[in-house]
Structure 1
Amino acid sequence: MTQTRILFAAQAPRLLALLALLLLWLPCVLRGPDSYVQIDDNLDAEIGVPYLLHRFDVALDYRPEAQVPALMNGLPRNTLRPGLSVPVALFGIFEPLTAYWVNQLLVRLVALLGLYALVRRYGLAAPEHRPLAAAVALAWAVLPAYTMYGLSALGTPWPLLAVLELRRRGGRLWWPWLVLLAFPLWSMLVLGGFFVVAALGLLLAADWLLHRRVSLAAWGGVVVLGLSYCVTEWPLIGSVLVRQQFVPHRLEFRLAELAPQGLAAGLRSTGQYLGWGQYHSSRFFRGGIALALVAAAWQLRSAAPIGQQAWRHRVGVGLAIVVALSVFCAFYPQAMGPLQRVAPALGAFNLTRFHFLTPLLWFGLWVLALRQLPPGALRTGLVVLQLAIGLGSNAEWLHNLRLWGGRPAPHEPTWRQFVAPELFGQAKGYLEQRSGQPASAWRVACLGMPPAAAQLNGFYTLDSYQNNYPLPYKHQFRRIVAPELAKSPELRRYFDAWGNRCYLFSAELGRNFRVGRTDGVVVQDFRFDAAAFRQMGGRYVLSAVQLAHPSGAGLQLIAQLHSPTAYWALYIYEIRT
């Protein structure tokens, strides 16, 4: 019985942190379809992809001819995320919203366990530090994150821990190898994976340079991680590097045209990276951690000089790395201008994603600070402050709390309002009856709303938000939107120098891609190339805005639909024959 009590006491802080995380996320998951799901770069881009991979039974079909017919007139399957992926697997088991929340909860639980294990072995190893380690891990797990990217951001403690354990104990342990083999199944190579592999390699190289210490097991672990990514991400690697199946539109990326230029702009961007980070890799205010570092430095003023020097050295190295990465990420887009004049294809690679490493670096600095502070109100207050900062930065968590409180954000629709199954069901039934053909026989495009809403309701769209698609398709689609791009230099630059949002544009709307039915927006002068639209198979425009003069664009209004549960009004326009 005594051993049982000791074991429970050892595990209790971690179990309480896991329970606290689950309780904190109840306001999100209990709302069901009326919950808020992050929209930008998430619901409008990422959630529909695994759903469609399973709908068309191509999740594990890596043949060059495999396509997703509902996207962009048959988007090549190998432009999309791999089928050997935990999120994709979950979308094959559950309906989309359930799969999304299950994936998010699992990501956050695994992230909590990962950081807890890391800091318990390297940072807060003393038995009395268990509650503190659990609190730090909870603060990590509530950070804002795009969990459709899996463990790319919040899961980074796991590969670091695995490599450190291989360096310390050699290859005798089995679980670090399993971690490094499995991590690519729940993360993305182009976001965090490549940069995690690079960072671990640099860490081991620095270990050799500074200490002349070489761990073959640790290097082997990095190689295993890289090879596992090659297997998992074979659709991308094989289609681009081995047997090129298509020319990606990313070859025309010109990041320098999208970023503010000059020293002042670069310094402002550096300050943003330092103070808040980048939103894809967890955007939260770093001030709480900075305050903890100041408090720890003050606490150490009476410590022995050797202890002070060692602590300051570690903190100084950590801060230097964070500053260097912030400067690099801030000025990288500007530097790409002259580089791309020499090698245009360099724009396809976004090396600013080293910022996926910075949240863990900041938490490492935080642990160094907390370890120097005695138990008491100050240390507890700093932990509570960081927990509040993480939750306060988490848009999904905050918006769902607002929904429970009856104060929804006016332009942040819930899942039900965004997907609007009743509204799009009416539209699909009406158009199939009008055309006498199923939805697969004709194509639509959306104006004033993300095409993902139509895609999740069974429509086949010419437009889409994709990180990778064939360059010839971008040129073909540009003919449709060229009249509106000609009106707006900003939209023209947005599409030509980037183009992930291959959308119908309106100069009057600008980059407002989310027009609600209560906004009452009427576009006075909309132009697009109806002949090019028809040539690509387009027949109908699903618009969230009313067109004052649709005939000027070669369109005619055939239906106007509304639903009290939908965020959108739906004006359906048909190409005039």
Structure 2
Amino acid sequence: MILLRKTFKANTPLLLAVLALLLLWLPCLLRGADSYILIDDNLDTEIGVPYLLQHFGVALDYRPSATLPAIMNGLPRNALRPGLSVPVALFGVFGPLTAYWVNHLLVRLVGLLGMYLLVRRYGLSNPGQRWLAAAVALAWAVLPIYSMYGLSALGVPWPLLAILELRNGRGTWWHWLTLLLFPTWSMFVLAGFFVIAGLGLMLAADWALSRRVSLAVWLGVVVLGLSYCVVEWPLINSLLVRQQFVPHRLEFRLAELAPQGIAAGLRSTLQYLGWGQYHSSRFFHGGIALALLLAAWQMRNADQKLKRVWLRRVGAGLMVIVALSLFCGFYPQAMAPVQRIAPALGAFNFTRFHFLMPLLWFGLWVVALRQLPAGGLQTSLVVLQLCIGFGSNTEWLNNLRLWGGRPAAHEPTWRQFVAPDLFRQAKTQLERRSGQPAATWRVACLGLPPTVAHLNGFYTLDSYQNNYPLPYKHQFRRIIAPELAKSPELQRYFDAWGNRCYLFSAELGRNFRVGRADGVVVQDFRMNTAAFREMGGRYVLSAVRLANPGATGLQLIAQLHSPTAYWALYIYEIRPSV
């Protein structure tokens, strides 16, 4: 009993941090279907795929012939995220909304625990610093993230801790287990490759300075890499071993989408330096910079040897951050001449080293905090960083706004976005009109993301995908060619990137989310209706009214509304004469 009390007392700060995190996210969880979920690059793309993988029973079907029939006329299953994935598994246990929030909360909890263990071992290890370590971990866990990427951002402390413990001869079975399992809850193309590269560079620098080589450490990196190979085998097999399709990413020309020139590169560098990148957590780094300045002032009268060691550590960390910011800021421009020599390199985005930057900034923050006197100053800096984290977290803020009766404009809730009542009406009417189930014909969406249709049982020709066959991109381009011809911007957007394989409208531009309240009418919409029909297309589900649908071979067959839907829905059919 005495041992139990001591254990509880020692872990009280961590337990309270966990409790605080749970309480802080209650405003999101309690709203259920009326909660707000981050939409761009999240609800409009990442949630539909794991749901459909489970719905069609192909999550673990890695055969070359396996497809996801509801997307792009049968998107190759191996173009999608792996089945050996915690988020995908959760979508097999829960409905899509519940699976999202369970994964979201678990990612934050695991991230909190990982940061706490890391800073308690390396940085804030004194018994009196437990509370500060727990506060740092909580500030880490509330950062804005894309939780469908799993632990790709908040989970990076785990492999780093495991490698550091192996390096120092304190590795145990659970450190090896961490390296083995981390790939099941993170994404190789976003973070895994760069975590491995970062660890490799760290160990190479360690060897250069100390000439010390630990076989266990390098073996740990190898285990992490091999585990990613097992988890990501569908992607590796389909692209590198037995090429199943040519990916559309081979036509990426990111330099055409980014502003050019030194001034543009420097502006982008300052964005990375001051705020980071939104996929890997975008938050203002000024609070941490302030802590570094205060710590430097505190160190002015310190022992010269200690001061030199501290300045060397801070300087090295800042140099790495500045170098990464410059690399990411100028990367699109620098890749243009490289792609002329090796076009395939454009398919892989090397700027994702930015997934390491939040941890680098927090590492510097810990280095600064430990030099400041315990008490009010440390507390103020922690509170400031917590406020910055929450203030940057649009998902959390928008749910608070919903509770306050002041919803953000153009940011619909889950129920409003998915609009099940509205699309149930649409599906019933179209199946009755066609005399066939939805699986036998195809639709495309205008003014709303195709994932809305996916979540409601429709089969679409369009989609937002990071990887799909290049021939399909060329085939779909025939449908949207008339609108691309009107807009050089949209033409560049599709031809040089193309992840959003959507119906485009030059009048809408890149407004892919048109609400019912907007009342938008597109005056002149054109599409290659013959190409649409050849691909199996029959209906267009539009969030905007077309002023003259007949000019492009369409006819309005239904106009639907629902008080709980964000969208108005206009359904157009290809005219029989086309």
Could you say whether these structures have the same fold, taking a TM-score greater than 0.5 normalized by the shorter chain as the test? yes
Please give the alpha-carbon distance, in whole angstroms, between the structure 2 residues aligned to 1:169 and 1:35: 47
SS in 2 for 1:372: coil
Q: Which residue of 2 aligns with 1:51?
A: 51
Q: CA deviation at 1:279?
A: 0.2
Please give the alpha-carbon distance, in whole angstroms, between the structure 2 residues aligned to 1:339 and 1:404: 50
Please give the alpha-carbon distance, in whole angstroms, between the structure 2 residues aligned to 1:385 and 1:443: 51
One-letter code aligned to 1:182 = L
Q: Which residue of 2 aligns with 1:231?
A: 230
Q: Which residue of 1 aligns with 2:155?
A: 155
Please give the alpha-carbon distance, in whole angstroms, between the structure 1 residues aligned to 2:25 and 2:234: 34
Q: Which residue of 2 aligns with 1:475?
A: 474
How do residues 59-458 of structure 1 correspond to structure 2 at under 5 angstroms?
A: 59-169=59-169, 173-458=172-457
Q: Is the contact between residue 170 and residue 215 of structure 1 (CA under 8 Å) also seen in structure 2?
A: no
User: Residue deviations 1:519-556, cap 9 Å, x none?
Assistant: 01000000000000000000000000000000111100
User: Residue deviations 1:52-109, cap 9 Å, x none?
Assistant: 0011100000000000000000000000000000000000000000000000000000
SS in 2 for 1:360: helix
One-letter code aligned to 1:275 = G
Q: Which residue of 1 aligns with 2:18?
A: 18
Please give the alpha-carbon distance, in whole angstroms, between the structure 1 residues aligned to 2:98 and 2:155: 21
User: Residue deviations 1:382-436, cap 9 Å, x none?
Assistant: 0000011001101110000000000001200000000000000000000000000
Please give the alpha-carbon distance, in whole angstroms, between the structure 1 residues aligned to 2:374 and 2:166: 32
Q: Is the contact between residue 124 and residue 133 of structure 1 (CA under 8 Å) also seen in structure 2?
A: yes
Please give the alpha-carbon distance, in whole angstroms, between the structure 2 residues aligned to 1:308 and 1:336: 40
Q: Please tell me whether residue 572 in structure 1 is matched to residue 571 in structure 2.
A: yes
How do residues 535-550 of structure 1 correspond to structure 2 at under 5 angstroms?
A: 535-550=534-549
Please give the alpha-carbon distance, in whole angstroms, between the structure 1 residues aligned to 2:342 and 2:6: 62
User: Residue deviations 1:2-37, cap 9 Å, x none?
Assistant: 433322211000000000000000000110000000
Give the alignment's TM-score, normalised by structure 2.
Answer: 0.99
One-letter code aligned to 2:389 = G
User: Residue deviations 1:476-511, cap 9 Å, x none?
Assistant: 000000000000010000000000000000000000
Please give the alpha-carbon distance, in whole angstroms, between the structure 1 residues aligned to 2:2 and 2:297: 41
Q: Please tell me whether residue 521 in structure 1 is matched to residue 538 in structure 2.
A: no
SS in 1 for 2:60: coil
Structure 1 vs Structure 2 CA RMSD: 0.6
One-letter code aligned to 2:202 = L
Please give the alpha-carbon distance, in whole angstroms, between the structure 2 residues aligned to 1:298 and 1:8: 37
Q: CA deviation at 1:378?
A: 1.2
Q: Is the contact between residue 123 and residue 368 of structure 1 (CA under 8 Å) also seen in structure 2?
A: yes
User: Residue deviations 1:323-348, cap 9 Å, x none?
Assistant: 00000001010011111111111110
Q: Is the contact between residue 539 and residue 574 of structure 1 (CA under 8 Å) also seen in structure 2?
A: yes
SS in 2 for 1:480: helix
One-letter code aligned to 2:342 = A
SS in 1 for 2:169: helix
Please give the alpha-carbon distance, in whole angstroms, between the structure 1 residues aligned to 2:173 and 2:537: 55
User: Which consecutive unaligned segments of at least 5 residues does structure 1 have?
Assistant: none
Q: Which moves more between the two structures, 148-157 or 371-380?
A: 371-380
Please give the alpha-carbon distance, in whole angstroms, between the structure 1 residues aligned to 2:8 and 2:433: 66
Please give the alpha-carbon distance, in whole angstroms, between the structure 2 residues aligned to 1:455 and 1:552: 28
Q: Is the contact between residue 36 and residue 413 of structure 1 (CA under 8 Å) also seen in structure 2?
A: yes
Please give the alpha-carbon distance, in whole angstroms, between the structure 2 residues aligned to 1:144 and 1:180: 25
One-letter code aligned to 1:375 = A
Q: CA deviation at 1:301?
A: 1.0
One-letter code aligned to 1:548 = A
Please give the alpha-carbon distance, in whole angstroms, between the structure 1 residues aligned to 2:177 and 2:292: 35
Please give the alpha-carbon distance, in whole angstroms, between the structure 2 residues aligned to 1:79 and 1:363: 34
SS in 2 for 1:250: helix
Please give the alpha-carbon distance, in whole angstroms, between the structure 1 residues aligned to 2:6 and 2:296: 35
Please give the alpha-carbon distance, in whole angstroms, between the structure 2 residues aligned to 1:416 and 1:3: 49
Q: Is the contact between residue 170 and residue 217 of structure 1 (CA under 8 Å) also seen in structure 2?
A: no
Q: Which residue of 2 aligns with 1:30?
A: 30
SS in 1 for 2:293: helix
Q: CA deviation at 1:262?
A: 0.3
Alignment coverage as a number of residue pairs: 576
Q: CA deviation at 1:304?
A: 1.0
Give the alignment's TM-score, normalised by structure 1.
Answer: 0.99
Identity %: 79
One-letter code aligned to 2:22 = L
Q: CA deviation at 1:170?
A: 5.7
Q: Is the contact between residue 288 and residue 385 of structure 1 (CA under 8 Å) also seen in structure 2?
A: yes
Q: CA deviation at 1:181?
A: 0.2
Q: Which residue of 2 aligns with 1:512?
A: 511
User: Residue deviations 1:157-182, cap 9 Å, x none?
Assistant: 000000000011165x1111000000
Q: Which residue of 1 aligns with 2:484?
A: 485
Q: Which residue of 2 aligns with 1:555?
A: 554
Please give the alpha-carbon distance, in whole angstroms, between the structure 1 residues aligned to 2:405 and 2:560: 27
User: Residue deviations 1:321-373, cap 9 Å, x none?
Assistant: 00000000010100111111111111101000000000000000000000001
SS in 1 for 2:243: coil
Please give the alpha-carbon distance, in whole angstroms, between the structure 2 residues aligned to 1:113 and 1:260: 40
Please give the alpha-carbon distance, in whole angstroms, between the structure 2 residues aligned to 1:4 and 1:228: 37
Please give the alpha-carbon distance, in whole angstroms, between the structure 2 residues aligned to 1:11 and 1:409: 39
Q: CA deviation at 1:451?
A: 0.4
Please give the alpha-carbon distance, in whole angstroms, between the structure 2 residues aligned to 1:84 and 1:7: 35
Q: CA deviation at 1:376?
A: 1.6
Q: Is the contact between residue 484 and residue 526 of structure 1 (CA under 8 Å) also seen in structure 2?
A: yes
Please give the alpha-carbon distance, in whole angstroms, between the structure 2 residues aligned to 1:388 and 1:94: 32
SS in 1 for 2:538: strand
Please give the alpha-carbon distance, in whole angstroms, between the structure 2 residues aligned to 1:567 and 1:231: 41
Q: Please tell me whether residue 498 in structure 1 is matched to residue 487 in structure 2.
A: no
One-letter code aligned to 1:23 = L
Q: CA deviation at 1:302?
A: 1.4
Please give the alpha-carbon distance, in whole angstroms, between the structure 1 residues aligned to 2:551 and 2:36: 38
User: Which consecutive unaligned segments of at least 5 residues does structure 2 have?
Assistant: none
One-letter code aligned to 2:162 = A
Please give the alpha-carbon distance, in whole angstroms, between the structure 2 residues aligned to 1:437 and 1:493: 38
User: Residue deviations 1:226-269, cap 9 Å, x none?
Assistant: 00000000000000000000000000000110111000000000
SS in 1 for 2:168: helix
Q: Which runs of 4+ in 1 moved over 6 A?
A: none
